[in-house]
């Protein structure tokens, strides 16, 4: 047993030793980017607020420039805030910047990174991404789910239409989260929960807990020798509990899919596809049940919230900009003619609508710092030496407002995209809501298929008004903390039927 005296000595000397070590490496590493001064051991951790990190980092970039550094406990971090440096990191040094930091919550809930989003950059990740892009997220697969999207959006429009008939105020946040989770549950595991049912609320609670834990701060991630704090404050126990509940839920879903009597007449879902891949054993590694569970987490986490948040932000921007609202409604209604519902193909012809979607993802991208990355090896960026294992934040929120790249960057002005070839597929570094390079979002086509169909039909079927006594200036753009930026205060609107549904 270690004597208490030795333990006390260690507790006193270890932080001192680390402080001296931090100082020494900073002195040795003269070419590291500048940044705000921090405290010994914790660095800048006490100065950062998780709920609006992208805003704080934007303010700091005004002082320290488009590349600056932070000390997060014992970990070094850099922040990139210009299109030029985004290109430098996500294209020219793409390979070196393709890692992900190993964070406790994310690792635990993804079975130690047996998936795509949070896995480190290695052979396994390349292989699993290839499999998913080919078999799960391909255009063919996305099209095969179109009847699900159409059915669910139609049902949902009918529900809003009944609100409209009874002049009921619609809570768009609630409605859209419910729709996007219904679509993703059907696509991912073929389930359709009753709106008010216990099962749906169990699923939502689990998903919310999972996302909260993935975005939570664990001391161990930044100051490992103080990791005991996570045990003391109950974070570890909470993580374990949530992991067990989620694992039970995934296992139930997989067991249902493995039942030989299962009815597959309604088509394959993502779990079916993954189980087939597992059974065929045609891959370069054994796809296990844990891989399937981890990829299941990816789909739920990546797809549900991002889609819902984007639609809410689009409607928020449009209700605050009646000119744009009218123009885009005229366009979709013109293309829709006498139809009662706009199909996915109809929407592809609506160029102003497409510009509205781009402008929404420019000003209100749901993941403003993308997904944080980590360098795999030392490299030189803008004359600075960035060591291996540095955490990298690409502040896309700031990049999307760069006055060098955008005229009137704060204005919601979709016309800027008409006649312009700028898109968000990872080639134009001033617009990167889906990231760029090796880790670019592989779900772009899946995302756009839902986003287009939902927003276009909301605009096609209804005129939108603010509840009595509310002015457009009253609608705020505050956000909730989390991996995805949701509008904090729900968007309440009154729908008026434009069509007989």
Q: Which residues bind ligand HEM (CB under 6 A)?
A: 116-117, 129, 137, 298-299, 302-303, 306-307, 310, 365-367, 370-371, 433-435, 439-443, 446-447
**Nearer Cβ to ligand HEM, position 352 or 429?**
429
Q: Are 381 and 414 in contact (CB under 8 A)?
A: no
The first and second tokens of residue 171, run together, are 């809570």
Work out how close the CB of 298 gets to ligand HEM at its nearest, in angstroms, rounded to a whole number: 5
The first and second tokens of residue 222, run together, are 């930044």
Rounded distance, CA 275 to CA 293, Å? 11
**Nearer Cβ to ligand HEM, position 429 or 434?**
434
Q: Are 112 and 118 in contact (CB under 8 A)?
A: no
Q: Residue 81: name the closest of 53, 50, 109, 48 by CA.
A: 53
Work out how close the CB of 307 gets to ligand HEM at its nearest, in angstroms, rounded to a whole number: 5
Q: What angle do CA 24, 6, 229 make, to 5 degrees?
A: 70
**Nearer Cβ to ligand HEM, position 236 or 364?**
364
Give burial (CB, 10 Å; 0-12/13-18/19+) of 244.
exposed
Q: Residue 132: name the closest of 277, 302, 250, 33 by CA.
A: 277
**Nearer Cβ to ligand HEM, position 164 or 396?**
396
Work out how close the CB of 363 gets to ligand HEM at its nearest, in angstroms, rounded to a whole number: 13
**Nearer Cβ to ligand HEM, position 96 or 230?**
96
**Nearer Cβ to ligand HEM, position 145 or 218?**
145
Q: Residue 293, Cβ neighbours under 10 Å: how many? A: 23
Work out how close the CB of 295 gets to ligand HEM at its nearest, in angstroms, rounded to a whole number: 8
Beta strand residue intervals within 237-289, DSSP E: none
Work out how close the CB of 426 gets to ligand HEM at its nearest, in angstroms, rounded to a whole number: 8
Annotated binding site for heme: 441
Annotated binding site: 441
**Residue 171, beta-bridge partner list:** 492
Rounded distance, CA 414 to CA 218, Å? 40
Work out how close the CB of 414 gets to ligand HEM at its nearest, in angstroms, rounded to a whole number: 17
């Amino acid at each position: 047993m270690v004597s208490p005296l030795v333990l006390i000595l260690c507790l006193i000397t270890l932080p001192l030793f680390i402080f001296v070590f931090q100082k020494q490496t900073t002195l040795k590493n003269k070419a590291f980017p500048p940044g705000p001064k921090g405290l010994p051991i914790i660095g800048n951790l006490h100065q950062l607020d998780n709920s609006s990190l992208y805003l704080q980092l934007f303010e700091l970039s005004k002082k320290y420039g488009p590349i600056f550094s932070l000390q997060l406990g014992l970990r070094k971090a850099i922040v990139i805030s210009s299109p030029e440096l985004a290109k430098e990191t996500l294209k020219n040094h793409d390979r070196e910047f393709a890692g992900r930091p190993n964070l406790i919550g994310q690792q635990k809930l993804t079975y130690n990174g047996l998936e795509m989003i949070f896995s480190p950059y290695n052979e396994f990740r390349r292989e699993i991404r290839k499999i998913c892009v080919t078999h799960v997220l391909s255009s063919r697969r996305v099209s095969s789910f179109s009847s699900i999207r159409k059915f669910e959006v139609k049902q949902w429009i009918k529900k809003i239409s009944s609100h409209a008939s009874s002049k009921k105020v619609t809570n768009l946040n609630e409605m859209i989260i419910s729709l996007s989770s219904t679509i993703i549950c059907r696509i991912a595991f073929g389930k359709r929960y009753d709106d008010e049912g216990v099962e749906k609320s169990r699923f939502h609670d689990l998903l919310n807990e999972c996302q909260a834990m993935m975005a939570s701060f664990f001391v161990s991630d930044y100051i490992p020798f103080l990791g005991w704090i996570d045990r003391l404050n109950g974070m570890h126990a909470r993580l374990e509990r949530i992991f067990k509940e989620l694992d039970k839920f995934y296992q139930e879903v997989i067991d249902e899919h493995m039942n030989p009597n299962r009815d597959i007449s309604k088509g394959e879902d993502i779990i079916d596809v993954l189980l087939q891949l597992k059974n065929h054993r045609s891959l370069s590694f054994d796809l296990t049940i844990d891989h399937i569970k981890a990829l299941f987490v990816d789909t739920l986490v990546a797809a549900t919230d991002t889609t819902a948040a984007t639609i809410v932000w689009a409607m928020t921007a449009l209700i605050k900009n009646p000119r744009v609202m009218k123009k885009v409604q005229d366009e979709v209604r013109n293309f829709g003619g006498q139809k009662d519902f706009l199909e996915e193909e109809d929407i592809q012809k609506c160029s102003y609508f497409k510009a509205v979607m781009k402008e929404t993802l420019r000003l209100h991208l749901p993941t403003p710092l993308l997904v944080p990355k980590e360098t795999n090896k030392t490299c030189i960026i803008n004359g600075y030496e960035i060591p291996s294992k540095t955490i990298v934040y690409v502040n896309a929120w700031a990049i999307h407002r760069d006055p060098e790249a955008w005229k009137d960057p704060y204005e919601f002005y979709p016309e800027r995209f008409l006649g312009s070839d700028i898109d968000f597929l990872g080639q134009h570094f001033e617009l990167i809501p889906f990231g760029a390079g090796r880790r670019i979002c592989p779900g772009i086509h899946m995302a756009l298929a839902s986003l287009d169909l939902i927003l276009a039909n909301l605009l096609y079927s209804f005129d939108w008004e603010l509840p009595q006594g509310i002015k457009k200036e009253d609608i705020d753009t505050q956000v909730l903390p989390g991996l995805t930026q949701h509008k904090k205060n729900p968007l309440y609107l009154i729908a008026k039927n434009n069509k007989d549904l």
